[in-house]
Amino acid sequence: MGERGLRVIREFQSYYDDLNGVRRAIVQRIPFAPGERWLDIGTGDGWFALEIERMMAPSVVIGIDLARCEVELARQHARDSNSRFSAFVQMDAYRLGFPSGAFDGIGTFLALQDICLDLPSLHRLFEEANRVLKLGGWFALATTTPEDAETPSQKLALEIYQYIRAGFFTKAQIQAALEQMGFQVEHIEFYPTGVNLDPEEAQAFIRFECDWLERAYGWQNKPDWRAVWAHFEPRIRALGGLEVDAKVTFFLARKVRTHRPTGGV
Ligand SMILES: C[S@@+](CC[C@H](N)C(=O)[O-])C[C@H]1O[C@@H](n2cnc3c(N)ncnc32)[C@H](O)[C@@H]1O
């Protein structure tokens, strides 16, 4: 799909690019030191990586994403914001092409639910993060935890994400997986984004999420957006909208030991 097509279909998503400054607020809570090397996993459009670059004076921030179209968008955003220290690479989060201990810090923002669909994959991801992180390095993880959805509209948004394709984990599951894989959780915080899409924007959101799977990964058997919309429209209209990505949970963890995979060296 050409640039124009991407822009048109993403217009409703202007909410997502900024998310009421939540990326910036979270990045401000990370104890960076100048000259560090950071990795952003599931970087998408690159906004979190670029926010990290803006906040610290890094030697480099590398954003990786499985989807080529996202990597291209991230590179475009990096050019637009005159980024000098960020680079974006197409890569699978489970097989990071970096040596062990290559990074001082790792960030991941609203990507966990796309990367990991079940607990074993969450463990695999954290194991790989532990490998590429230096001992004492930071893991800054921002995601949505379903038990903290407050309103029916926030709960419905999570149900729709899961219906299309997403794995969500509770705070307790994430914390236990982090600890099992060699991290210590230093603190957990919540950030409201205040996002509430009106029903028409909610329809565009559903269409985007369904069609994106084919554009990004070539999935032919993606859910049909019309069927998904028909399924959820009455409830969205009854609630007057959809609170998508309304609340973000931020975990700041530190690598306290090198995890040795079972049976590994
Ligand atoms: C919601 S987007 C990320 C948003 C982004 N971090 C931000 O700040 O806007 C989730 C991303 O995770 C990526 N993803 C899913 N599975 C992945 C994998 N196995 N490896 C790397 N990236 C993956 C998707 O391609 C998608 O771009």
How far does the centroid of ligand 1 lie from the alpha carbon of residue 46, in Å?
10
Q: What is the pLDDT of residue 59?
A: 85
How far does the centroid of ligand 1 lie from the alpha carbon of residue 44, in Å?
5
* Every domain of the chain and the residues it spans: 3-147+166-195+244-255
114 lines ligand 1 (CB under 6 A): yes
- How many angstroms separate the CA atoms of 19 and 26, rounded? 12
Task: Give per-residue pLDDT as tens, 236-248.
Answer: 999 999 999 889 9
Task: Give per-residue pLDDT as tens, 37-64.
Answer: 999 999 999 999 999 999 988 789 999 9
Q: Is the pLDDT of residue 119 over 90?
A: yes
* Pocket residue to mutate for ligand 1, from 17, 65, 244, most atoms within 8 A of Cβ: 65
Provide the 8-state DSSP code for 181. Answer: T
How many Cβ atoms sit within 10 Å of the Cβ of residue 120? 10
Neighbouring residues of 68: CB distance < 8 A, sequence distance ≥ 6: 90, 216
What is 3-147+166-195+244-255's CATH topology? Rossmann fold (3.40.50)
36 lines ligand 1 (CB under 6 A): no
- How many angstroms separate the CA atoms of 78 and 80, rounded? 5
pTM: 0.92
- How many angstroms separate the CA atoms of 85 and 143, rounded? 25
Neighbouring residues of 232: CB distance < 8 A, sequence distance ≥ 6: 156, 160, 163, 206
* Pocket residue to mutate for ligand 1, from 66, 91, 121, 143, most atoms within 8 A of Cβ: 66
Neighbouring residues of 179: CB distance < 8 A, sequence distance ≥ 6: 185
127 lines ligand 1 (CB under 6 A): no
Q: Give the model's confidence band at 262: pLDDT under 50 very low, under 70 low, under 90 confident, else very high.
A: low
17 lines ligand 1 (CB under 6 A): no
Q: What is the pLDDT of residue 12?
A: 59
Task: Give per-residue pLDDT as tens, 167-190.
Answer: 899 999 999 999 999 999 999 999
